[in-house]
Structure 1
Amino acid sequence: MYRFKLSYRLISLAASAVCTLALLVLLPIELTVSFVAVLAAIVSVAAYRLNNYLLTVLSGAFLFRVAFVVVDSLAGFLPTVPISTGHNRRAIALATAWTNGQFAGVLGETTIMRVVMAHLLAPFYVVLGHSSVAGRIGIAFVSLFVGYLVFELARHVADYRTSVLAASIVLFWPTIVYRSVVIQREIVLVVVMLTFLWAAVQWLDSVTLRTVTIALLATAATFALRKENLVLIVAMVGFVSLGKSRDKPYYLAGLTLFSVPFLAFFALNFETFTGHGSTLSPAALESFAYGRAHGDAVYLMGLHYDTWLDVILYAPMKVLYFLYTPFPWHIQSITELFVGMSALALLAATFFVRRGIAILHDKPYYLGLLLSYFLTGVVTYSIIEMNYGAAVRRRIQFIPILLLLAVVGLSNVEFDVRWPTQ
């Protein structure tokens, strides 16, 4: 057994103080941003005083992200994501139109994804001003729901402190922090997928109008943001239906009516979802994979899918590349070093996943639902991914589940955490 000593409240308070001081010294980029930082610090200190550790973690994570955004806006050490420029421009146009009383016909013809992102970010530009900092703070705020949803998922199998620990690790995981401070859809999609997973977990007990409504909204958002992910939703619905069909056979009929038409449509209209091939086939998968394999971050360029057996045999190697690249021999810059160290940390966390799965053996339906999302997502993305830059972005959808299982695996290791008495 190992013993770890940690003054949880002291670390949270110190982090809040340092981030607040950094913001107040470095800012006047936007006075409103300064106000947001101070407000987050006040919430963090109040939560600390009230012994609300989840709120302390959430507010501390937000304050850290705001500080990160401000420092980068001054120093410019993060590369600019090309798609961020378009998201920023459209959100500013929408915010400007709203303040002028115009609420329709602002964005013109564009994709659903871009419309959704503009409407999600525009309120932050209205409040904080027409600077890309406002959009990045908006993304940072949305990213907090990743931690909250991980906490809610963990509470089904772990105590309060372990659940807070899981949320903390996820919120401060390096690649998740990075995707939480750039204007992209990736972290928004993570929130959407975890929301559906949360609803599906509730269905294991009972299906309610509230959870069905939330799931339908999450499904609509998934279609708008990345329609390929509808396959993951089908996998989750399928597992829940199979689990509940043991007691209520009509769930199996519902599963068949729901999944078979969708899977058939997906297979016969593969080009509609991916832009490659016509029907689902090894050749179409290869075309999709090589269509994404561009730039200096490509891997396994000699790999080809001639038959379905090739797809199956190559899958384990593709999963390793998808989850743990860039490997040390890929690293050629400071950014790649940062991401590579995060990948090594993810590999270390993976060793505890087996312990987590063993601990959850008495909750097979909960475990099976988590794995239906995680394994379906990791395997399918691995098959069509050949670029570790894209792999880093895509895998943050599944890192929260891997880390959750790892934390559960660590839950029977003795921790000496100094929690104050109530």
Structure 2
Amino acid sequence: MLPGPSGFYARLGNALLGAFAVYNVYLIARYYHSHQAGVVAALPMTFYPSIVAVQSTLLREAIVLFGITTAARLLLLPSHRRSRLLSYALAAVVLHVSLLQRDDNVIIIVAAIAAALAVHAVNSGYLSRRSVALAASLSPVAFVLSLPVIRDGIEFLAYTREVRASGRTVYLPDVIPQTVVELTAFSWVGAVYFLYAPFPWMIETIPDLLVGIEGLINIAFTVAAVWGVRSLGQKNSPATVGLLVGLCVAVVLYGVGTVNYGTGMRHRQMFIWVIFLFGGIGVSEHVRFAWPFQWWSDDSATSTQALNSGTD
């Protein structure tokens, strides 16, 4: 007999989708670097208390995360079981499902795909560098023509900040960008708070402390991601550019529209996996882990081998 409607089964479904999202990130990192890179990238997604909490509830972020990471897996990893056309179709389906949950992510997804396609077109010779230079020279004209749309977007973000500027976890409630210049000036500040808050001076409770520790780990992954971007860029530059553009657009838009770290903690889960992916690859570029507790860097291992050979 079927159990009928149940909150338990809905939460279980969300948890399973979250688990699949972790596996997607692991597979991408493993394919482009190593098993270790996949494990390192998946660890924070597996053990962060905030991620575990959100993915065991009825919140929609787990569905969005599953859709985005599954689309990335379908687009970035080759498969012998299905054609590329089928992979593209399946990616479109899961992205559509994720957009049904959060349609405001459409700008982020379009920007990421457009950037990846542009780099692919240049690398494949479909677009010459002269065409790219011409398009870049015309970008100011496109910016001026799109100013009405940009102003509408700024008004929407300002309204969102005003509505959300309440509660114990609020930060910078009086900062509400109203112009393009103000938005540009505040964008990096909002992005930093969105990705890493709460900072130590904002911690008041034990849950704050746990999420604050996550923020510190996020900073470490961001530093390691510099090497990961370089490594992945050498193997798949369109994917690297697409992921970076999507991440940057996401953290700017959500960073400006978010004004408390409770909301930011939930929303950043949809995108911070990109930092974990690059960070896992970056860590594995320089550090090798051995089970259970031994670790060494590539340089140290090389130096040790040279020293041993010299003493022999």
Q: Does 1:345 align with 2:217?
A: yes
1:283 aligns with 2:159: no
Shift of 1:131: 5.0
- Please give the alpha-carbon distance, in whole angstroms, between the structure 2 residues aligned to 1:219 and 1:414: 35
**1:326/1:343 contact within 8 Å kept:** yes
Partner Cα separation in structure 2 for residue 238 and residue 361 of structure 1: 17
User: Is 1:403 matched up with 2:276?
Assistant: yes
Identity among equivalent pairs (%): 26
**Equivalent residue runs for 1:35-114 within 5 Å:** none
Is the alpha carbon distance of 1:220 and 1:367 closer, same or farther for their aligned partners in structure 2, counting shifts above 3 Å? closer
**Does residue 230 of structure 1 match 2:106?**
yes
Secondary structure, counterpart of 1:249 in structure 2: coil
Q: Is the Cα–Cα contact under 8 Å of residues 153 and 198 in structure 1 kept in the other structure?
A: yes
CA distance in 1: counterparts of 2:99 and 2:288, whole angstroms: 43
**Which residue of 283, 290, 307 maps to 1:416?**
290
| Map of 1:243 onto structure 2 | 119
Letter in 2 for 1:249: Y
In the alignment, the residues of structure 1 paired with residue 149 and residue 230 of structure 2 have an alpha-carbon distance, to the nearest angstrom, of 39
Counterparts in 2 of 1:16-415, with a 5 A limit? 126=2, 132-202=7-77, 208-246=84-122, 247=124, 249=126, 280-363=152-235, 364-411=237-284, 412-415=286-289
Paired AA for residue 213 in structure 2? M
Q: Which moved more, 1:130-139 or 1:367-376?
A: 130-139
1:157 to partner: Cα distance = 1.6
Over 3 Å counting, the alpha-carbon distance change for 1:221 and 1:130 in structure 2 is closer
**Is contact 1:147-1:171 (8 Å) kept?**
yes
**Are the aligned partners of 1:197 and 1:236 in contact in 2 as well (CA < 8 Å)?**
no
On the 8 A contact 2:68/2:94 being kept in 1, the answer is yes
Q: Distance in 1 between matches of 2:73 and 2:176?
A: 37
Can you give the 5+ residue segments of structure 1 that lack an aligned partner in the other structure?
A: 1-98, 100-125, 257-262, 271-278
Q: Distance in 1 between matches of 2:37 and 2:217?
A: 19
Residue range with higher mean Cα deviation, 141-150 or 331-340: 331-340
Q: Distance in 1 between matches of 2:193 and 2:44?
A: 23
| In 2, Cα distance between equivalents of 1:130 and 1:219 | 26
Kept after mapping to 1: 8 A contact 2:31/2:77: no
Once the two structures are TM-superposed, the CA of residue 413 in structure 1 deviates from its matched residue by 0.9
Unaligned runs of 5+ in 2: 136-142, 293-312
Query: Structure 1 stretch 156-165 or stretch 188-197: which is displaced more?
Result: 156-165
The alignment partner of 2:190 has SS state of helix
Instruction: After TM superposition, give the deviation of residue 296 of structure 1 in Å.
Output: 2.1
State the Cα deviation string for residues 225-248 of structure 1 (Å, max 9, x = none): 000111121012202220222225
Quote the offset at 1:281 in angstroms: 4.6
Residue type at the aligned position of 1:417? W
Secondary structure, counterpart of 1:155 in structure 2: helix
Q: Provide, for residues 92-145 of structure 1, a one-character-per-residue CA deviation record: whole Å limited to 9, x for no partner.
A: xxxxxxx7xxxxxxxxxxxxxxxxxxxxxxxxxx45x76533332222111111
Q: In structure 2, what residue type is equivalent to 1:201?
A: L
Q: Judging changes above 3 Å, is the alpha-carbon distance between structure 1 residues 132 and 297 closer, same or farther for their aligned structure 2 residues?
A: same
Compared with structure 1, are the counterparts of its residues 283 and 369 closer, same or farther at alpha carbon in structure 2 (3 Å cutoff)?
Answer: closer
Give the distance between the partners of 1:224 and 1:306, measured in 2 at CA.
29
Q: Return the alpha-carbon distance in structure 2 between the equivalents of residues 313 and 225 of structure 1.
A: 30
Greater than 6 Å deviation, 4+ residue runs: 266-270
CA contact (8 A) 2:39 2:280 kept: no
Q: Kindly indicate whether the alpha-carbon contact (under 8 Å) linking 1:318 and 1:383 is maintained by their aligned counterparts in 2.
A: yes
Distance 1:165 1:138 in 2: 25
Length, aligned pairs only? 273
